[in-house]
């Protein structure tokens, strides 16, 4: 198997949100939270000073355009007050006061604006990737898309089909629920597609508005961590079955691994005020298990190589810096240090979910890579599932 990747296009969220802004907002909203005395230390442990969002922080914390007392509840409230002997005037005053209470945004309010942004950013990334590859939209034979926090039907694939526009016979492959694994798994799928037909041109577009998981009213510790972690990014890249002058990386092999019984460790919960990202403390250990199996795959694949094989670069998105540290500690003996330099740099401005691997790859490309550098791309996602791709810089 050989597929060829052109430089990815990366579009960061244009609204810079400082960690200090988030901490100020959280302190004002949850002054009695038991974890509040530790908030500065928790924020510092993420290593993230700022992140880019597709919408400003003010949009995430704004109240609903509706009232605290939803219309269906007004009737029963009036009847209950009347039964307690309140006069009509007193009932009117109480109902008016209840209606004046700000309500949290509904899931519709939170998602609509984010979905619009996901489409705009996805289009920008797609056009950038095509331009970098020296191709037109009409050259695309297959479009793979992913966007996990903004559910929509039709999805990003149909949106881009109309926006670019693509040919009518283009193969559309939406994968909205890939989440953090979207980067590596889309490349693995694209490699399979061009292996079947080397003349195919595959365009991958991943657009993530992870800031929609910022839930101001949620006073849990895990919600605080989610507030601090996520960034919004759209990425895109072209994969072909034959090398082009614009190609930067040859993809040679892929690996997949899924752990049974781990679906509850990371998940999106849909509630009245939108989506909440829920994390279990057992999650990092499960991700570490997939890393160990990946090492075994690489050893088996190169067991007869002389001199002994090792990657020159690891582009990894395992969900956080804790697992990056585990990867460094458990690498096979003899592997060089600092393989994860660009992966660590990617986390410094937020967790980009499915867009992370392309973002890290772009950082490595911009820094300059010598031809022949052996590279492994790895990511893990809720499920718990992981995919790795092995390749070499051209």
* pLDDT given for residue 356 in this prediction: 97
* pLDDT given for residue 73 in this prediction: 55
Q: State the Cα–Cα distance between residues 130 and 139, nearest whole angstrom.
A: 9
Query: What is the chain's mean pLDDT, rounded?
Result: 91
Q: State the Cα–Cα distance between residues 228 and 48, nearest whole angstrom.
A: 8
Task: Supply 166's token pair.
Answer: 């693509």
* pLDDT given for residue 105 in this prediction: 77
- How many other C-beta atoms can be found within 10 angstroms of the C-beta atom of residue 11? 24
> Quick one: residue 240, left, alpha or beta (phi over 0 = left, psi -120 to 50 = alpha)?
beta
> What does DSSP assign to residue 382?
T
Question: Phi and psi for 200 in degrees, rounded to 5?
Answer: -70, 145
* pLDDT given for residue 367 in this prediction: 97
* pLDDT given for residue 67 in this prediction: 56
* pLDDT given for residue 270 in this prediction: 80
R_g of the chain computed on alpha carbons: 24
Q: What percent of the chain has pLDDT over 70?
A: 93
* pLDDT given for residue 275 in this prediction: 79
Domains and CATH numbers, the chain: 3-63+104-240 (3.40.47.10), 249-393 (3.40.47.10)
* pLDDT given for residue 167 in this prediction: 97
Question: Phi and psi for 199 in degrees, rounded to 5?
Answer: -85, -5
Nearest to 240 by CA among 289, 186, 203, 293: 203
10-residue mean pLDDT profile of the chain (394 residues): values are 94 97 94 94 93 93 66 64 75 63 74 93 98 98 95 94 97 94 98 97 97 90 92 98 97 96 84 80 86 95 91 93 90 91 94 96 97 97 94 97
* pLDDT given for residue 11 in this prediction: 98
* pLDDT given for residue 66 in this prediction: 63
């Amino acid at each position: 198997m050989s597929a060829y990747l052109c430089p990815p296009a990366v579009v960061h969220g244009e609204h810079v949100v400082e960690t200090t802004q988030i901490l100020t907002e959280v302190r004002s909203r949850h002054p009695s939270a038991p974890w509040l005395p530790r908030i500065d230390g928790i924020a510092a442990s993420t290593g993230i000073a700022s992140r880019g969002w597709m919408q400003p922080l003010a949009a995430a914390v704004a109240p609903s355009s509706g009232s605290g007392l939803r219309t269906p509840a007004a009737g029963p409230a009036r009847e209950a007050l009347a039964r307690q002997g309140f006069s009509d005037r007193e009932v009117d005053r109480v109902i008016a006061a209840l209606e004046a209470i700000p309500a949290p945004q509904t899931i519709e309010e939170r998602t609509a604006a984010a979905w619009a942004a996901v489409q705009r950013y996805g289009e920008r990334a797609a056009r950038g990737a095509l331009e970098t590859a020296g191709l037109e939209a009409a050259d695309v034979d297959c479009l793979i898309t992913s966007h996990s926090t903004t559910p929509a039907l039709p999805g990003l694939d149909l949106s881009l089909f109309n926006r670019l526009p693509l040919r009518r016979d283009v193969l559309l492959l939406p994968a909205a629920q890939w989440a953090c694994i979207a980067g590596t798994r889309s490349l693995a799928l694209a490699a399979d597609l061009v292996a079947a037909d080397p003349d195919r041109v595959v365009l991958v577009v991943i657009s993530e508005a992870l800031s929609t998981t910022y839930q101001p009213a949620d006073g849990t510790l895990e919600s605080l961590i989610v507030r601090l972690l996520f960034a919004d990014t759209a990425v895109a890249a072209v994969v072909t079955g034959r090398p082009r002058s614009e190609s930067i990386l040859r993809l040679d092999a892929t690996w997949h691994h899924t752990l049974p019984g781990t679906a509850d460790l990371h998940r999106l919960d849909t509630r009245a005020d939108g989506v909440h990202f829920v994390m279990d403390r057992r999650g990092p250990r499960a991700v570490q298990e997939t890393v160990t199996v990946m090492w075994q795959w690489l050893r088996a694949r190169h067991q007869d190589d002389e001199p002994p094989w090792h990657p020159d670069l690891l582009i990894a998105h395992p969900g956080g810096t804790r697992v990056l540290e585990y990867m460094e500690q458990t690498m096979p003996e003899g592997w060089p240090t600092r393989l994860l330099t660009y992966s660590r740099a990617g986390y410094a401005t937020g967790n980009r979910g499915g867009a992370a691997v392309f973002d890290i790859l772009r950082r490595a490309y911009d820094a300059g890579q010598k031809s022949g550098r052996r590279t492994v791309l790895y990511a893990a996602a809720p499920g718990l599932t992981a995919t790795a791709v092995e390749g070499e810089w051209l």
